[in-house]
Structure 1
C-alpha cells in the first residue's frame, strides 16, 4: 500500500512548476490510445480507459490534493464518461472484428447524424456550463465545450465516423489555453501533441475510406 501511495503521490519539479507523475502517465496512455485508434486496433480502448482513470484523479484536484488544488468538473467528469463510451466502443469494435475481420471501417456520418452532433454540441455546452458553474468548476464554459466535444468525438470513433477527428480539433483549440492557464502542463502539452495525431489520423482514415469506396466501386463494376 505504501508503494502504491508513493507512486500515486510522486511529483516532478520543473522550474517553479510541480507536476504529478500520474498526470504524465495518464496522458501517455492517452497518446497510445490515439495511435491505436488511428490504426483501428481494439486495444486502443482498454489503454484509453487506464489513462482516463488516472486523469480523473488529476482533475479532481481539491479532492485528491493535487498541486493545482483546482476542480475541473468537466475535465474530471469526461474521464468517467470516456470510460463508459470506451466500453461501448470496445465491445462494438470487437463485434465488428468478429463479424467482418476489421475492427471498424471509416465512413462519413449521415446528414441526420451531423445535425444531431451540431445540436448536441450547442445544447450540451450551454447545459453543462451551467451545471459546472453551479458546482464551482474553474472555467465552466470552456470546460463544458471540451466535455461535450470529447464525448461526441469518442462516440464518433466508436461508430467509425471520420468526422470524429475534426471534433477533436475543436476540443484541442479550447483545451490547450484552458489547461495551460490552470497549470496542468502535461495535459496541455498532450493536447498540442494530440492535435498532430488528430490531423494525421484524419488523413489516414480519409485515405482508408476512399480506398474502400474505390474497391466497392470496382467490385460493383465487375
Structure 2
C-alpha cells in the first residue's frame, strides 16, 4: 500500500469508533491555517486548501465508502467554497504584502456590513436548508446550512481583513460541535471545540493589533492635517 492509499483508508480505532486519519490530518491542516491567519501570514491560505481537499472526501462518506456512511453536504460543500475563497484571499494578502509590512491590516467592517452579514447568515440558512434536505443531508439540516453560510462569510471576512470574522467562526463552532457529534465525526467535533476557544483568542488578538495600528498612524494623520 502506497502512502496515498494508506492516508485514504487508514483509521484510528477508539473503542467502537473508527476515525479516518485523513479527517484528523485535514483538521490539523485547518488548525495550522487558523494559526497562520491569526499571525496574518500568507501561507495560511495554501495550507488551508490542503486541509479542505482532505475533508471534502471525509464529509462525503456515502460517496467514498468510508466507515461513516453519512453525507454532510453543507460540510462537504463548504470545503469547495473554502478552496474558492481561499484562492481570492491568497491573492489579496499576497498583493497587500508587496505594498505593506504585513499581509493584511485588521479593521472593523462597520455597522452596515455587520447588518448585511447577519441578514445573509439568516437568509442563506433558510434558503439552503430545503436544498440540502432534498439532496439528503444529515439532520438537523438547518445546522448544516448554518455552518456552510457562516463559513463562507467568515472566510470572506478574513480575506477582507474584518476583525469581526472571528465572531462568525464562534457562531459556526457553537452549532458545528453538536452536529458533528451526532453525525459521528468525533475528530472534527473535537477540533471544533479547539477552534471555538482559538477563535475567541483570535478576535482579541486582531483587535489589539488593530488598536496598535490605529494609534501608530494617528500622529501621522494629525501632522498632515491643515491648521488655521
TM score, norm. by length of structure 2:
0.95
Within a 5 Å distance, the mapping from 1:1-222 to structure 2 comes to: 2-139=2-139, 140-222=141-223
- Deviation sequence 1:106-154 (CA, Å, 0-9, x none): 0000222112211110111011111101101002110000000001000
Which runs of 5 or more residues in structure 2 are unaligned?
224-228
Secondary structure of 1:83's partner?
A: helix
CA distance in 2, matches of 1:213, 1:7: 46
CA distance in 2, matches of 1:146, 1:69: 20
How many positions carry a matched residue from both structures? 222
Report the alpha carbon displacement of residue 3 of structure 1 after superposing the two structures with TM: 3.9
CA distance in 2, matches of 1:7, 1:35: 24
- Deviation sequence 1:57-85 (CA, Å, 0-9, x none): 00001001121100000000000000000
CA distance in 2, matches of 1:12, 1:99: 46
- Deviation sequence 1:9-61 (CA, Å, 0-9, x none): 00110011000000000000000000000000000000000000000000001
Which runs of 5 or more residues in structure 1 are unaligned?
none
CA distance in 1, matches of 2:62, 2:51: 20
Flag the 1:2–1:216 CA change in 2: closer, same or farther, 3 A.
closer
CA distance in 2, matches of 1:99, 1:129: 42
CA distance in 2, matches of 1:202, 1:221: 28
CA distance in 2, matches of 1:211, 1:101: 14
TM score, norm. by length of structure 1:
0.97
Flag the 1:118–1:60 CA change in 2: closer, same or farther, 3 A.
same
Flag the structure with larger Rg. 2
Secondary structure of 1:71's partner?
A: coil
- Deviation sequence 1:160-216 (CA, Å, 0-9, x none): 000000000000000000001111001000100011110111111000001111112
